[in-house]
Amino acid sequence: MTQVNAQFGKVAVLLGGNSAEREVSLRSGQAVLNALQNAGVDAIAFDPQNRSLWELKELNIERVFIALHGRGGEDGTVQGALEFMNLPYTGSNVLGSALAMDKVRCKHLFKSAGLSTAPYAVVDAKKGFDAKAIMDEFKKVMVKPSHEGSSIGMAQASTAQELEEALANAFKFDNQVLVEQWITGREFTVTVLGDEVQPVIEMTTPNGFYDYQAKYQSNTTQYHCPADLSAQDTQHLQAMSLDAFDLVGASGWGRVDAMQDEQGNFYLLEVNTVPGMTEKSLVPMAAKANGATFEQLVVRILEQTL
């Protein structure tokens, strides 16, 4: 038995699940599982869609690597279950997971703490809304379901009719929807690993914005790591990202997304507490730019459970 094996005991990689991001989670989880096994860790795949979490105890699992994206995996529910079972797990705790997953409450927190974020409105499916008034105020918007990730249910709108259509689609995923003022500019992401920020990545895509297709299916999406920013802008964006990560109570590892407008101002978009770990994912890319292999990254995340 290798030292790594003895250190971690038996590990379950939670993957799949029941969220709209199931397919991405299956890919993330498989990549994590392969890396852990290559590192000599006694790791198995565990899909909560097919199995009860109580089986983790029967299998003598000693710690859990959470590779579940979206609801049921990234929103604090599985974290709460694992806490109840006294099983150490990777990533943020119950509160950090729940807050980061809730885009609306994240925005409220950013605003109240004085962190830069785009102007926004919150639309509730049960309360009705005035699409024309929203468009008169913002001109162009991005529509986001409050509790989805991987850009699922997101759309842009430039007219009241487009907004109504985008909201009707977003309401299929969530009763509460964030309508954010459109920012024309550059899109960035900052990985947080432990208490350290990794090199900034810039994403460019012909899709209009970094949507699901650009993230997981496109060959035209380009990644620039480290991003072409001045040292001052890089430090500012990294510090801002770390502030946002800490503000929502996130911990362990994660990713903070941001934009820079044409005037050079940065705006926080959201905090991801279980970002993608596929071959196209951003966290491994940032870690690689910092000299870490995918295997080293995965082991380092797991080490946080010791």
Q: Catalytic one among 150, 151, 241, 251?
A: 150
| Beta bridge pairs of residue 223 | 203
Tell whether residue 257 is among the known ligand binding residues.
yes
Tell whether residue 169 is among the known ligand binding residues.
no
Each of the 306 residues of the chain gets a pLDDT tens digit; together they read: 456 667 999 999 999 999 888 999 999 999 999 999 999 999 999 999 999 999 999 999 999 999 999 889 999 999 999 999 999 999 999 999 999 999 999 999 999 999 999 999 999 988 988 999 999 999 999 999 887 655 678 899 999 999 999 999 999 888 899 999 999 999 999 999 999 999 999 998 765 555 555 455 556 678 999 999 999 999 999 999 999 999 999 999 999 999 999 999 999 999 999 999 986 799 999 999 999 999 999 999 999 999
Q: Catalytic one among 25, 97, 241, 281?
A: 281
Is 52 noted as a catalytic residue in this protein?
Answer: no
Domains of the chain: 3-90 (3.40.50.20), 100-115+185-303 (3.30.470.20), 120-181 (3.30.1490.20)
Is 83 noted as a catalytic residue in this protein?
Answer: no
Tell whether residue 272 is among the known ligand binding residues.
yes
Is 150 noted as a catalytic residue in this protein?
Answer: yes
Strand intervals (E) in the chain = 10-14, 42-46, 63-66, 120-124, 141-145, 155-157, 176-181, 185-193, 196-197, 201-204, 222-224, 253-261, 266-272
In angstroms, the CA 138 to CA 179 distance is: 9
In angstroms, the CA 85 to CA 187 distance is: 39
Look at residue 9 in the predicted model and tell me its pLDDT. 96
Q: 301: number of CA atoms within 13 Å, CB side?
A: 33
